[in-house]
Structure 1
């Protein structure tokens, strides 16, 4: 009995320490975001993904998907979906030629919901909160003229995670519209498999169904504000569609490192089709899309960044109210 009590106590202590660290890290990162992109004259300003717009559509699940995975939400015929497209950073005038783009979703079913936050990169620039804070601190020091951009680049080149991200993001193709990029979960989530009764690890991606490549010359001719107008023109002509695919982890894939690329061939499972039918202005860009709002049957990642990320989203949203 004493051993059991001691064991339970150790678990409670570990949980409390973990919770405290998430709070401490998220608080530091939140403050860093405001130091980089905040405005004393506008304390309610959004400090990341500031430039963006909204759209509406529906998600149409693949009828065969729930034969393998237990997600009751995916048994609905059509799920109303709100979409937000955005660029990273706090600058509302960020150039649309920025390589980093994002898509966030709110699938609002009859009895359940799913919020999905993605970027066009398969990986994040940091694998843990310490690297995330280190990266933001470089930006703060540059802003405060403590170091030059060149000095920051030299220091960042010594961090493998930052190098991995830079190599990956620069390799992405140029696109003339949000509709032409693929978007990725970065985190590994866990799905309840019916046959094995196990949780299957998988990342996911949303891939455009009608991809239209653009040449470098065509891209160079674009201005700094083309993404929103291009999207409006596109969606007036026909729905914009993405295929939602689970990318199942292979045995040796790192599932707790969001900076690691999964190399080689992977089994992919089609979850369904996202069909966007309407441009919806910019109002939803001030909302928060929470990665931890998951439907029954989808379980949270186990990497060290996921809990911190959600805490930062919540804290920055609260500061804007």
Structure 2
């Protein structure tokens, strides 16, 4: 059994005993602890208290990050002086989803240099569904079942009322289901700040672009697959050749919103190729219990300034602690 620290209400098998709507109304402002409570109310399991309650399903791999030659003449990031940097990779599904037929995909990296380290957490979407902690917390809280039922009418209503939710729902209509991690593009969503050769901070988002291109499954192709096709597909492909991605910085234009993770950037942008990630070896579940912290940044990279970045890191730390 889990109990919400703010309200004292308890959860059995991921369901609230007390009325969910009452809890949602009480949570006028969501801090990291409150968001963690919501995740446990939605995805927690009294029979498995150490369960990972976000990006639950995933697998691990080893690879290397190879910086572009002389990239440190463009970006003042000492880590990128190394020729090849060992990288731990975790591929995952969004939330507590267990079927690979779901849309949300994640990729987390630990780029482990000799003197510095960079941890990266990405999704297969360019934007987020919430711009602040309150929207983020409510997005999940309204999906907690009450009496074994989710209030879909209320979710539809709130999605039409909250611009962030509505914007993300429209965006997701154009996102398909990928049949392989080798055909999935991953995005930072947040805007980070990178030092150039003159130590000027450049705001940029980044993406990991698959060398094999992005490809979505057709409905008839999807129906032929099991719920566990991503890991087996990875094993087959990695035996033949490394799965490759180009890391690309997308530099912000003057009018781009750099403190809003729900904002799509439009128009042409200057891009900088940083390096290539080669994912080579399947490692099973060796890293599934690890925490990947987006705040673990190397010298030369500074944190985003949006309202969600710090609370995201705090929530990761809280949920990691509860799993121990």
Under a length normalisation based on structure 1, what TM-score does the superposition of the two structures give? 0.88
Task: Please state how far the C-alpha of 1:55 moved relative to its aligned partner.
Answer: 0.4
SS at match of 2:89: strand
Report what 1:34 is aligned to. 40
User: What's the counterpart of residue 190 of structure 1?
Assistant: 193
Shift of 1:47: 0.5
Q: Could you tell me how far 1:168 is from its partner in structure 2?
A: 1.6
**Aligned mate of 2:272, from 244, 264, 269:** 269
Deviation, 1:144, is: 4.4
Report if the CA contact (8 A) 2:107-2:186 is conserved: yes
Structure 1 CA distance, aligned partners of 2:155 and 2:217? 32
Instruction: Assess, with a 3 A threshold, how the Cα gap between structure 1 residues 103 and 147 changes in structure 2: closer, same or farther.
Output: closer
Runs of 4 or more consecutive aligned structure 1 residues displaced over 6 Å after TM superposition? none
CA–CA distance in 1 between the matches of 2:146 and 2:278?
41
Give how far 1:90 is off: 2.2
- Do 1:190 and 1:202's aligned partners in 2 also have CA atoms closer than 8 Å? yes
Q: Mark the runs of 5 or more structure 2 residues left unpaired by the alignment.
A: 1-28
TM-superposed CA distance for 1:146, in Å, is: 7.1
Q: Per-residue CA shift, 1:246-296, capped at 9, x if unaligned?
A: 000000000000011111111110000000110000120111000000000
From 231, 236, 243, the equivalent of 1:240 is 243
CA RMSD of aligned residues (A): 1.6
Do residues 211 (structure 1) and 217 (structure 2) align? no
SS of 1:270 mapped into structure 2: strand
Shift of 1:151: 2.9
- State how 1:13-92 maps to structure 2 within 5 Å: 25-91=31-97
For 2:186 and 2:259, locate their aligned partners in 1 and report how far apart those are by CA, in whole Å: 19
Counterpart in the other structure of 1:14? none
Query: 2:253 aligned with 1:250, yes or no?
Result: yes
Q: What TM-score, normalized by structure 2, do the two folds share?
A: 0.88
Residue number in structure 2 paired with 1:297: 300
Query: Aligned-pair distance for 1:214?
Result: 4.8
More deviation in 24-33 or 306-315? 24-33
Instruction: Find out whether 1:113 has 2:112 as its counterpart.
Output: no
1:6-31 residue CA offsets vs partner (Å, 9 max, x unmatched): xxxxxxxxxxxxxxxxx960010001
Q: For each residue in 1:71-94, what CA deviation from the matched residue of structure 2 results, as whole angstroms up to 9, or x when unmatched?
A: 000000000000000001224xx2
Q: Where in structure 1 are there 5+ consecutive unaligned residues? A: 1-22
How many correspondences in the alignment? Answer: 295
Distance in 1 (alpha carbons) for counterparts of 2:138 and 2:216: 35
Contact 2:211 2:245 in 1 (8 A): yes
Partner of 1:180: 183
Distance 1:154 1:126 in 2: 16
Query: Per residue, is there more helix in 1 or in 2?
Result: 1
**CA distance in 2 between partners of 1:318 and 1:198 (Å):** 37
Q: Give, in angstroms, the shift of residue 215 of structure 1.
A: 4.9
Distance verdict in 2 for CA 1:237–1:212, change over 3 Å: farther
Determine helix, strand or coil for the equivalent of 2:31: helix
Which position in structure 1 is the counterpart of 2:13?
none
How does 1:116-127 map onto structure 2 within 5 Å? 116-127=120-131
